[in-house]
Amino acid sequence: MSRAGSVSKDANGLWSFVVDAAPIGAPRRQVRRRGFRTRREAQQALDLLKTNVRRGEFVERSLGTVREYLEAWLPAIRSTIESSTWESYDRNVHNHLLPTLGEIRLQALTPDHLSDLYATLAETGRLDGRGGLSARTVQYCHTILHRALADAVRRGWVVRNVADYALVPAPKRRRRRAEEATWTANEVASFLAKTEEERLYLVWYVALMTGMRRGEILGLRWRDTDLERGRLRLVRQLRVVRHVPEVSELKTDRSRRQVSVDPETVTLLRRHRRTQLEERLMVGDGYRDGDLVFAQPDGTWYHPEAVSKVFDRRVARWRLPKITFHDTRHTWATLALQAGVHPKVVSDRLGHSSVAFTLDVYSHAIQGLDDDAAVRVADLIHKGTHVQPRP
């Protein structure tokens, strides 16, 4: 058979064609299509297939379903992403994608299938039956499906990524309530004074004095500290995956960073180190040395969620404005900007992706600086009007 292919009529009066669909130089691969009503329909289908082969867009017909593909795709990508990210992929695929799309053939999937799914998720997608998913969650489901279909295109199982053409609810831009979820300097001082005897006191102290994330603090090792120079090197974090603490490396150059600490914090860390060594001697052989700066008496991790719960209880006990542990980070950033620290320094210490992001989140703090700048520049100019011109 030539690469031009051939069209023929079968005993039932229907037309079919057969053609070698392999690119030049590749092993032979015959493709046969049947059931055309006229010779012209068969020839047009043959010509289209040959065009797709030349363009590298031909995909062998498959009866595989979306369920079969995604359940093979998830294990395949597990080693390429963070475990917590994979867990969220797996959860959303099984909870929100497969119940609706699972039995559709992968190659028959259309943009309308996806658009209809996203609209349904937005209206009635909650598993508890109490309404729809947030636009942000629907967008995340779309992100997962888009990546999965992009891999299918790359592997030659579908011709195009239909997720490119689906209608996705736009997530509402939600400005962080940073101006509401912060303490004043007096409130920080009050909290620290009232919790000074707590075992977790230094964890909260470091959070409020540095703006570090909870996971970065709890994953910090002594080998990553330089108390002589007052520096902490942040290279990893302790996260929670399905309620189980897990260590992971910080992923980006911006998140892997060095944070300076003040002399008082250095003094407290040195004192804490001596106390920790005393605990190790008391526990003896049962001590599990992970080189952690912040550990339980036997050397094991603090569970991040437990640390946050204790923090919440202490905030409530002392009747301070309600903030979460993560809001200690917003508190530090707000106080730093109000104190006149350059936004670039604040952004770098927080590990933000850009200074613009920092300025956007903490615009409430920047406004005060803007007011001050207006007065100072105007004052400078007004003073300049009294300066005698140069001869």
How far apart are the C-alpha atoms of 214 and 329, rounded to whole Å? 9
Q: Across residues 321-348, what is the average pLDDT? A: 92
The amino acid that residue 170 corresponds to is A
Structure tokens at 290: 């992970």
Q: Which two tokens stand for residue 96?
A: 């929100």
Examine residue 211 and state whether it is found in any structural domain, yes or no: yes
Q: Kindly state whether residues 212 and 112 are assigned to the same domain.
A: no
Q: Using 50, 70 and 90 to split pLDDT, how confident is the model at 294?
A: very high
* Mean pLDDT for the stretch of residues 328-341: 92
Same domain, 49 and 120: no
Residue 363 domain-assigned?
no
**Mean pLDDT (whole number) for 199-212:** 96
Same domain, yes or no: 285 and 214: yes
CA–CA dist 71, 96 (Å, integer):
14
- Asked if residue 41 and residue 80 are part of one domain, the reply reads no
Give yes or no: residues 88 and 154 share one domain: yes
State mean pLDDT over 97-124.
93
Cβ neighbour number for residue 133 with a 10 Å cutoff: 23
On whether residue 362 sits in a domain, the answer given is no
pLDDT tens per residue, range 266-279:
999 999 999 999 99
Cβ contacts of 376 within 8 Å, gap of 6 or more: none
At residue 345, does pLDDT exceed 50?
Answer: yes
Token digits of residue 22: 């392999």
Q: Is residue 46 part of a domain?
A: yes
What gap in Å lies between CA 76 and CA 79, rounded to an integer?
Answer: 7
pLDDT computed for residue 30 by the predictor? 75
Do 71 and 44 fall into the same domain?
Answer: no
In a domain, 221, yes or no: yes
Residues 198 and 317 in one domain: yes
Q: Residue 388's pLDDT band (boundaries 50, 70, 90)?
A: low
Count of structural domains, the chain: 3
Report yes or no on 127 lying in a domain: yes
- Strand pairing category for 225-226 and 30-36: unpaired
Is 269 or 390 the better-scoring residue by pLDDT? 269
Tell me the percentage of the chain whose pLDDT exceeds 70. Answer: 86
In a domain, 380, yes or no: no
Q: What is the Cα–Cα distance from 210 to 336, expressed in whole angstroms?
A: 10
Confidence of residue 180 (pLDDT cuts 50, 70, 90): low
Closest C-alpha to 42, from 17, 6, 11: 17
Residue 35, phi-psi category: left (phi > 0), alpha (psi -120 to 50), beta (remainder): left
- Are residues 237 and 131 located together in one domain of the fold? no
Compute the mean pLDDT over every residue in the chain, rounded to the nearest whole number: 86
Which domain CATH number covers 154? 1.10.150.130
Q: Within this chain, do residues 287 and 307 fall inside the same structural domain, yes or no?
A: yes
209 with 148, same domain: the answer is no
Q: Which residue type does 114 have? A: L
Q: Is 6 helix (H, G, I), strand (E, B) or coil?
A: strand
In percent, the amount of the chain with pLDDT more than 90 equals 55
CATH number at residue 198: 1.10.443.10
pTM: 0.63
Q: Which of 60-74, 98-112, 129-143 has the lowest mean pLDDT?
A: 60-74
Domain coverage including residue 34: 6-55
Domain boundary among 36, 55, 74: 55
Q: Is the dihedral of CA 78, 81, 85, 89 positive or negative?
A: negative
Structure tokens at 270: 């040195």
pLDDT band at 2 (very low <50, low <70, confident <90, very high): very low
Please report the pLDDT score of residue 390 as a whole number: 54
Looking at the structure, tell me whether residues 143 and 240 fall in a common domain: no
Q: What is the dihedral of CA 241, 357, 141, 94, to 10 degrees?
A: 0
Same structural domain, 114 and 36:
no
Residue 285: strand, helix, or coil: helix
How confident is the model over 183-211, as a mean pLDDT? 96
- Encoding tokens for residue 134? 């947030």
- The residue with greater pLDDT, 384 or 47, is 47
Distance in angstroms (rounded) separating the CA atoms of residues 140 and 170:
11
Per-residue model confidence (pLDDT) at position 176:
47
